[in-house]
């Protein structure tokens, strides 16, 4: 047995030992670096069409897990039930134990990519379904970076409420998007008022995916009752009031990617 395979098996065993089970989903703590474990919420679906590997926005994480469900109000986290209803396994990347916040620069760091790599490997032991990377807001930085560094292990990439402001470290258009050679969906709300995710800057960023075999840019204009911070999950930025419709559109495209 190779050292690499032995290391992976040990990591899996340790993760299984440290898990906390719930009625619906499971909270894992996956060893990703020496003395560091990274949280993962995992909810499988029988006969899954694919696995969506979700990167929430903000400082990362998915909140506490209560009754088998994560409690964060982030768009992707609160929409997880819609992904499972559409036939997808849900894997939500949390945070490493040595960090309380995943800032912009953190999400393109070698350390972050090392954590992501180990968590991706662990998810693959749970299901052989095709892996789709999905990020929202600050999570799109992690998602794009993952698509660049894990080309051979993923089926496609979905970015929602993308960070396109060049002033932010790791902003999507600042990354090597030409290196991404998997299908790409960019999904954005036309009323997104977040200064880091301006709708009028999205088309230029989208052009960067010039080597994606299939790519689609979708603007939506639905939802209702936005409240609070315009860069947070309860505003247009988080597709408030149209979560089910948003996930249905994303799911349909994952099932049948087309330009």
Q: Which domains does the chain show, CATH number per domain?
A: 3-255 (3.40.50.1820)
Distance CA 88, CA 97 (A): 27
Whether the predicted pLDDT of 188 surpasses 60: yes
> What is the reported pLDDT for 24?
82
Q: Return the closest-CA partner of residue 54 out of 104, 90, 23, 5.
A: 90
> What is the reported pLDDT for 239?
98
Please give the helix or strand (H or E) that residue 96 lies within, else none. strand 88-96
When pLDDT is averaged across residues 126-155 and rounded to a whole number, the result is 97
Instruction: Give buried/exposed letters for 169-183 (b at 16+ CB in 10 A, else e).
Output: ebbbbbbebeebebb
> What is the reported pLDDT for 3?
46
Place 151 in a pLDDT band, splitting at 50, 70 and 90: confident
pLDDT in tens, 113-134: 999 999 999 999 999 999 999 9
> What is the reported pLDDT for 107?
98
> What is the reported pLDDT for 211?
98
> What is the reported pLDDT for 21?
36
For the chain, the 3-state helix, strand and coil shares in percent, each to the nearest 5, are 35, 25, 40
When pLDDT is averaged across residues 147-166 and rounded to a whole number, the result is 96
Least confident of 2-11, 168-177, 178-187: 2-11
Residue 69 or 20, more confident: 69
Q: Which one-letter DSSP state was computed for residue 134?
A: E
Whether the predicted pLDDT of 160 surpasses 80: yes
Whether the predicted pLDDT of 1 surpasses 80: no
- CB contact at 8 A, 74 and 62: yes
> What is the reported pLDDT for 91?
98
Distance CA 107, CA 164 (A): 14
| Residue 75: Cβ within 10 Å count | 27
> What is the reported pLDDT for 6?
45
- Is the model's pTM score more than 0.75? yes
């Amino acid at each position: 047995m190779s050292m690499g395979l032995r290391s992976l098996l040990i990591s899996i065993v340790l993760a299984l030992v440290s898990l906390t089970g719930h009625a619906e989903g499971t909270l894992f703590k996956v060893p990703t670096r020496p003395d560091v474990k990274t949280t993962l919420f995992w909810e499988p679906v029988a006969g899954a069409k694919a696995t969506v590997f979700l990167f929430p926005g903000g400082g990362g994480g998915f909140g506490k897990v209560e009754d088998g469900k994560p409690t964060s109000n982030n768009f992707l986290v609160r929409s997880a039930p819609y992904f499972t209803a559409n036939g997808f396994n849900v894997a939500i990347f949390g945070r490493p134990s040595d960090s309380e916040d995943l800032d912009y620069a953190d999400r393109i760091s070698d350390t972050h990519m090392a954590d992501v790599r180990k968590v991706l490997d662990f998810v693959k032991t749970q299901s052989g379904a095709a892996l789709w990377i999905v990020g929202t807001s600050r999570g799109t930085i992690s998602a794009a970076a993952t698509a660049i560094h894990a080309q051979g292990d993923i089926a496609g990439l979905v970015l929602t409420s993308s960070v396109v402001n060049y002033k932010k470290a790791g902003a999507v258009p600042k990354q090597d998007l030409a290196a991404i050679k998997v299908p790409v969906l960019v999904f954005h709300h036309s009323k997104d008022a977040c200064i880091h995710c301006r709708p009028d800057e999205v088309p230029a960023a989208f052009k960067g995916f010039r080597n994606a075999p299939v790519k689609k840019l979708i603007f939506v204009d639905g939802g209702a009752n936005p409240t609070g911070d315009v860069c947070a999950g309860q505003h247009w930025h988080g597709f408030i009031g149209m979560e089910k419709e948003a996930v249905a559109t994303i799911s349909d495209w994952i099932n049948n990617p087309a330009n």
